[in-house]
Chains A and B, each alone.
Chain A
Amino acid sequence: MKDSMTTSQTPEASKSQHAQHAQHAQHGQDGLELCDIAIRLGDRVLVDLDLVIAPGEIVTLMGPSGSGKSSLLGHICGTLPAAFDVQGAVRLNGRVLDGLAPQDRHVGILFQDDLLFPHLSVGGNLAFALPASIKGRAERKARIDNALESAGLAEFADRDPATLSGGQRARVALMRVLLSQPGALLLDEPFSKLDSDLRDQIKSFVFDLARQNHLPTLMVTHDPEDAQAAHGRVISLD
């Protein structure tokens, strides 16, 4: 089954895209720019926002459910259904994302469920995310083992994700996103389903790694504690 949108890309294409994106970075601004974004569904305005998130900065977007927070994230990663009417521009490190296919945007997202693929092993999940441009079985395995080790999950590569604890799964999900080499990170209420005793630990794990990787990070949540833990700007939508 060949894809009609011909969006599949060769490693070369993805490399050249990286190169382009490095060039753009010199002209445009670094980080994630949301320029005058307005999202409408029918006559209702869900989101109206102008925001720049610097690399390594974590911005929290607070608002009640139904306020369109998740629609904004969907728009940034390119998976928002066509029924929504969106104005404004999204730029990542100077590169305009609008019109690009989701897989060409290099925007990672974490949901409140870890969404680890249940048919793949832990290592398989990570390998799925690792770009094909990283070649050679040994090299790929080393990258995955490194990632697992840094998450305190060494020797977990062959495990079935279903046998992991909630906290372990959350860490694997984050490592999976990071291995895909994103330019920005989106968090959609990522801690709301975790046990309360785990939550703080996972929060600092996610936030620390986001900063270490210099990722502009946008988190939506309705939990004020998440916002506090992020130590960043908080924007309220209502």
Chain B
Amino acid sequence: MLRLFPILTLVFMVGPVTAGLIGTFLPSFGILPALGGDGASLDPWRALLAQPGLWQSVRLSLFNGLAATAISVAIVMLFCAAWQGTRIFRAVQRLLSPILSVPHATAAFGLAFLIAPSGWMARLVAPFMGWDRPPELAILHDPLGIAMVIGLVTKEIPFLFLMTLAALPQADTERTAQVTASLGYGRITGWFKATLPRIYPQIRLPVLAVLAYSTSVVDVAIILGPTTPAPLAVRILGWLSDPDLAKRFMASSGAVLQLALVLIAMAVWLSAEKIIGVLGRRAMVDGRRLAHDGWLRHVGAGLAIIAVGAVILGLVVLFMWSIAGFWAFPDILPRNFSLRLWGREFGALGDSLLVTLMIGVPSVLIAVALVLGCLENEVRRGLRRHKAVMWLIYLPLLVPQISFMFGLQVFFTLIGLERTLTSVVLVHLVFVLPYVFLSLSDPFRALDPRYGQTALCLGASPTRVFWQVRLPLLTRAVLTAMAVGLAVTVGQYLPTLLIGAGRFATVTTEAVALAAGGDRRMIGIYGLLQMLLPFAGFAFALLIPAVVFAKRRGMGGMGDRGGNNAT
């Protein structure tokens, strides 16, 4: 029975991706009997190539994806190199979970409210510049996509930081830093020469996931990205939503092109890695120490704090708009506050929260059960994790969502599940599973195996050991994984929209839909509403173990990742 869990997990994770890719690939060559596409043809591709500004869209996606990834990785590496093991490092570490739980769309809205010509930052400098109306600058939706890149960077930094933190202990970094320092190396140089080469292999997959995401993102692009033309993924969504069903064929070709684009971006990235590797190996032994790197350390801290601060400040401004009465430019604060809009929207807010939970709760529960089953199976059968498994876990995060969502829609229609709650839960599961697995596997494997052995030797059955020993010891880790999973399902835009065919109005689909309208008060309300569930999830993950194990000191100071050891 337990052996079925890894298979089921794989089916739920890889199955929809495969079915979706096939279901996208065939229509891109004209094959989709349901819409009258009976024979193979290149017409969809001809139509796609005839789209005005196609190459501009392609270029935007490719360059912005690579740029956002490179900048995020650079900032995270610089910050870790400069500040690992210090107080500021631990302070940023503590802010991680709450910031990670902010959905992409919320962060993007917050950033928009900060940097828009009529945004909060312009209001701050307005008195000095003598502005009495918003400057005429195309800051949001700028044709180069700079705002979009910044938006992506602020949200990718926390994710990459978390992944780097998980890799650090394996390289014995604290002592490595002592050794390089005693040899006269500056902090940053020592870290880049002695630590980075050892941890990079472990963060390569997360980096590629960030690259795939940034190259094919839809929601952030709608909120911050260029519009004439938009990046490729946004245009594909437009064609998929077109009332003219014939456009679906061209959209499929676009989706295949998007997949190719992500693969090209990965190839570029991996080649750059190789080149940097060759140059780096030479630099590693050239003896240059850059002992006085104080200024660079401050740059690193500055960039990380700006990125984190932008998300937090963005949330504050979202909140202010949601309760703002009259708020003219260039006032820094609204003239008055009002809860009128919250009151008016109250019913609608409750409905979208309910829909979000209806999708999220089953996805998270199924995901946690499957992942626990996989990990328990691993422990009981003494299996070691194979390297290829990590690629499979990352697969849903490496394939662009837009490239398999349409095909998956077709597939669900074929098996009669189109537009049902089941299909939406299943598609959310595809993305919740990898994150729950990543979040739970480390603490599970770090649990001292002798607890289990002791319990077995005391006569407890393996089933009892799981329910009465391992699971309680991992309470905090399991709850944290649930919170992570919930944050992931709440943030899903494209899958909810396309697989649900608009029938499921979650807080995120509602919020992104408001982007075009530009009603700041409504955006403020829905942006905050998106935050509510992930935040509550993480709060419960902290509170429940604290209350349940209030009288068990050994269950307290187990660190953020929970349950490592109790002695």
Interface residues of A (CB under 8 A from B): 1-5, 7-9, 14, 74, 77-79, 81-83, 101-103, 105-109, 111, 113-119, 121, 128-129, 131, 160-163, 176-177, 180-182
Task: Known contacts A82-B382, A118-B554, A119-B549; decide if A1 and B457 are in contact (CB<8 Å).
Answer: no
B residues in contact with A163, CB < 8 Å: 553
Q: How far is the CA of A107 from the CA of B458 in the complex (A)?
A: 8
Bound Cα distance A114, B554 (Å) = 13
Sort A-B residue pairs by CB-CB distance and give the 7 closest, nearest first: A118-B554, A8-B461, A162-B553, A118-B566, A162-B554, A102-B456, A180-B458
Say whether B279 faces chain A, with CB atoms less than 8 Å apart: no
The residue that B554 contacts in the complex, of A101, A107, A161, A176, with Cβ under 8 A, is A161
Bound Cα distance A233, B455 (Å): 29
Q: A103-B456, A111-B454, A160-B552 are in contact. Are A4 and B461 (CB under 8 A)?
A: no
Q: How far is the CA of A210 from the CA of B373 in the complex (A)?
A: 38
Evaluate whether A119 and B472 lie within 8 angstroms (CB atoms) in the complex, with A1-B463, A8-B463 already known.
yes
**Which residues of chain A come closer than 8 Å to B551, judged between CB atoms?**
121, 160
Segment at the interface with A among B63-71, B160-168, B201-209, B445-453: B445-453
Q: Which residues of B contact A162 (CB under 8 A)?
A: 552-554, 566
Contact: B552 with A2, CB < 8 Å? no
| B469 x A103 contact (CB < 8 A) | no
B2, B459, B549, B554: the one contacting A3 at CB < 8 Å is B2
A34 to B320, CA, bound (A): 75
Given the interface pairs A2-B1, A79-B453, the reply to whether A8 lies near B464 with Cβ below 8 Å is: yes
| Complex Cα spacing A80 to B455, Å | 15
A192 nearest CB across to chain B (Å):
13
Most buried by A among B454, B464, B553, B554: B454
Q: In the complex, which residues of chain B have a beta carbon less than 8 angstroms from the beta carbon of A102? A: 453, 456-457
Q: Is B411 an interface residue (CB 8 A)?
A: no
**For the complex, what is the distance from the CA of A181 to the CA of B2, rounded to whole Å?**
30
A182 to B460, CA, bound (A): 12
Known: A8-B461, A180-B459. 5 other contacts (CB 8 A): A1-B466, A103-B457, A113-B448, A119-B549, A163-B553
C-alpha spacing A77/B448, complex, angstroms:
17
Which residues of A have CB within 8 Å of B458?
103, 108, 128-129, 176-177, 180
Q: Does B553 lie within 8 Å of A109, measured CB to CB? A: no
Residues of B within 8 A of A176 (CB): 458
A105 to B567 alpha-carbon distance, docked (Å): 27
On whether the beta carbons of B2 and A4 are closer than 8 Å, the reply is yes
Please report which residues of chain B, range 370-402, place their CB below 8 angstroms from some CB of chain A when the two chains form the complex: 372-373, 376, 380, 382
- The interface residues of chain B, by DSSP majority, are classed as helix
Q: Is A115 touching B448 in the complex (CB atoms < 8 A)?
A: yes
Cross-chain pairs A/B with CB under 8 angstroms, 20 sampled: A1-B2, A1-B376, A4-B2, A8-B462, A9-B461, A81-B382, A102-B456, A103-B456, A103-B457, A103-B458, A103-B460, A105-B457, A115-B451, A117-B451, A118-B555, A119-B549, A119-B552, A121-B551, A128-B455, A182-B457
B454, B461, B555: the one within 8 Å of A7 (CB): B461
Docked complex Cα distance between A106 and B457 (Å): 7
Cα distance A161–B556 when bound, in Å?
Answer: 13
Which residues on the B side are within 8 Å of A82 (C-beta)?
A: 382
Decide if A117 touches B459 in the complex (CB within 8 Å): no
Say yes or no: is B188 at the interface (Cβ < 8 Å to chain A): no
CB pair A79–B456 under 8 Å, yes or no, is: yes
Q: Would you call A1 and B1 a contact (CB within 8 A)?
A: yes
Taking the nearest CB of chain A, how far is it from the CB of B445, in angstroms?
14
Residues of A within 8 A of B554 (CB): 116, 118-119, 160-162
Bound complex: CA A155 to CA B2 (Å): 41
Residue of B nearest to A106 (CB): B459
Contact of B468 among A9, A113, A128 (CB under 8 A): A128
Which residues from A are CB-within-8-Å of B372?
A: 1
Give the distance to chain B from A162, nearest Cβ to Cβ, in Å: 4
Once the chains bind, are B457 and A107 in contact (CB under 8 Å)? yes
